[in-house]
Amino acid sequence: DAGVIQSPRHEVTEMGQEVTLRCKPISGHDYLFWYRQTMMRGLELLIYFNNNVPIDDSGMPEDRFSAKMPNASFSTLKIQPSEPRDSAVYFCASSSLWGETQYFGPGTRLLVL
């Protein structure tokens, strides 16, 4: 099994630009999670999906952030416009059942200049 795949692994962009992060969950997993890790706030949940439907987006910091899951094998997290304070590592994770162990991807390190 390939595990959770994220792209790109690194992204450097300028303030105001649109950033799109991508995730491919483990095949057969019905739950997909987006996390952000920063020094100040640690690892925090942004949003999660069940069967491609967003269930809880209360962790999304503001309207500049949006996430979609058009099918069971692909999800995007978009930031538009990006700001320097969005610089962080963004992780995608998936799990097979509600409440079961989540498996994380390698993360996307984002730097907004």
Q: In this structure, are strands 103-104 and 42-50 parallel, antiparallel, or unpaired? A: unpaired
The window from 14-22, 61-69, 71-79, 105-113 that contacts other proteins (CB under 8 A) reads: 105-113
Q: Residues 23, 4: contact at Cβ < 8 Å?
A: yes
What is the spatial distance between Cα 59 and Cα 10, in angstroms, rounded to a whole number?
23
Report if residue 101 touches other proteins, rule: CB under 8 A. Answer: yes
Could you tell me how many residues make up the chain?
A: 113
Report if residue 91 touches other proteins, rule: CB under 8 A. Answer: yes
Binding mask 15-54 for other proteins (x = CB under 8 A): ----------------x-x--------xxxx--x------
For other proteins, which residue of 75, 105, 110, 112 counts as binding (CB under 8 A)? 105
What is the spatial distance between Cα 80 and Cα 22, in angstroms, rounded to a whole number?
15
Indicate the residue among 39 and 70 with the shorter CB distance to other proteins. 39
